[in-house]
Structure 1
Amino acid sequence: MERPEIWISFAPELHLFVASARRTGRSAVRTDGASTLGHVVESLGVPLTEVGTLLVDGRPADTSHVPRGSEEIEVRSVARPQPVAGPTRFLLDVHLGTLTRRLRLLGIDAAYENPDIGDAALAARSAAEQRVLLSRDRGLLRRRELWAGAYVYSHRPADQLRDVLSRFAPPLAPWTRCTACNGTLRPAAKEAVHRQLLDGTQHAYDAFAQCTACAQVYWRGAHHARLNEIVDEALRDFGTPGAVPA
Structure 2
Amino acid sequence: MEPVEIQIGFDPRLHLFLSAAHRTAGARVRCDGVSSLGHVVESLGVPLTEVGALRAGGRPVAVAHVPRAGERIEVDAVRLPQRPPHAGVPPRFLLDIHLGTLARRMRLLGLDAAYENPDIGDGALAAKSAAEQRIMLSRDRGLLRRRELFAGAFVYSHRPGEQLDEVLDRFVPPLAPWTRCTACNGELRQVGKESVRGRLPSGTQRTYETFAECSACGHTYWRGAHAQRLEAIVQHAMRHVKNAESAANAAA
Aligned-pair distance for 1:169? Answer: 1.0
Cα deviation, 1:67-119, whole Å, max 9, x if unaligned, reads 00111101100001111123300000001000000000000000010000000
Q: 1:21 maps to which residue?
A: 21
Q: 2:32 maps to which residue?
A: 32
Alignment length (residue pairs): 240
Q: 1:219 maps to which residue?
A: 222
Task: For residue 203 of structure 1, give the secondary structure of its aligned residue in structure 2.
Answer: helix
1:135 equivalent to 2:138? Answer: yes
Name stretches of at least 5 consecutive residues in structure 2 with no aligned partner.
244-252
Q: Structure 2: how far apart are the matches of 1:123 and 1:2?
A: 35
Aligned runs of 1:170-189 on 2, under 5 Å?
170-189=173-192
Q: Structure 2: how far apart are the matches of 1:77 and 1:165?
A: 17
Query: What letter is aligned with 2:213?
Result: Q
Aligned-pair distance for 1:2? Answer: 5.1
Aligned-pair distance for 1:237? Answer: 1.5
Q: Structure 1: how far apart are the matches of 2:43 and 2:10?
A: 13
Aligned-pair distance for 1:24? Answer: 2.5
Q: CA RMSD in A?
A: 1.1
Q: Structure 2: how far apart are the matches of 1:179 and 1:192?
A: 21
Contact preservation (8 Å) 1:172, 1:239: no
Q: Structure 2: how far apart are the matches of 1:70 and 1:26?
A: 11
Task: For residue 173 of structure 2, give the secondary structure of its aligned residue in structure 1.
Answer: coil
Q: 1:243 maps to which residue?
A: none
Q: Structure 2: how far apart are the matches of 1:217 and 1:103?
A: 19
Q: 1:11 maps to which residue?
A: 11
Cα deviation, 1:195-228, whole Å, max 9, x if unaligned, reads 1110011111111111111111111101010000
Q: Structure 2: how far apart are the matches of 1:118 and 1:127?
A: 15
Q: Structure 1: how far apart are the matches of 2:194 and 2:238?
A: 33
Match of 1:154 among 134, 157, 163: 157
Cα deviation, 1:128-153, whole Å, max 9, x if unaligned, reads 00000000000000011111011000
Contact preservation (8 Å) 1:17, 1:45: yes
Query: What letter is aligned with 1:152?
Result: V
1:167 equivalent to 2:165? Answer: no
Aligned runs of 1:171-210 on 2, under 5 Å?
171-210=174-213
Contact preservation (8 Å) 2:107, 2:181: yes
Q: Structure 1: how far apart are the matches of 2:211 and 2:102?
A: 24
Query: What letter is aligned with 2:43?
Result: S
TM-score normalised to structure 1 length: 0.95
Cα deviation, 1:123-178, whole Å, max 9, x if unaligned, reads 00000000000000000000111110110000000000000111011110000111
Q: 1:65 maps to which residue?
A: 65
1:95 equivalent to 2:98? Answer: yes
Contact preservation (8 Å) 1:106, 1:172: yes
| Larger helix percent | 2
Contact preservation (8 Å) 2:93, 2:134: yes
TM-score normalised to structure 2 length: 0.93
Q: Structure 1: how far apart are the matches of 2:59 and 2:237?
A: 37
Aligned runs of 1:45-60 on 2, under 5 Å?
45-60=45-60
Contact preservation (8 Å) 1:133, 1:148: yes
Q: 1:244 maps to which residue?
A: none
Match of 1:239 among 214, 239, 242: 242
Where do 4+ consecutive residues of structure 1 move more than 6 Å?
none
Aligned-pair distance for 1:55? Answer: 0.8
Contact preservation (8 Å) 2:168, 2:240: no
Aligned-pair distance for 1:3? Answer: 1.9
Q: Structure 1: how far apart are the matches of 2:74 and 2:159?
A: 30
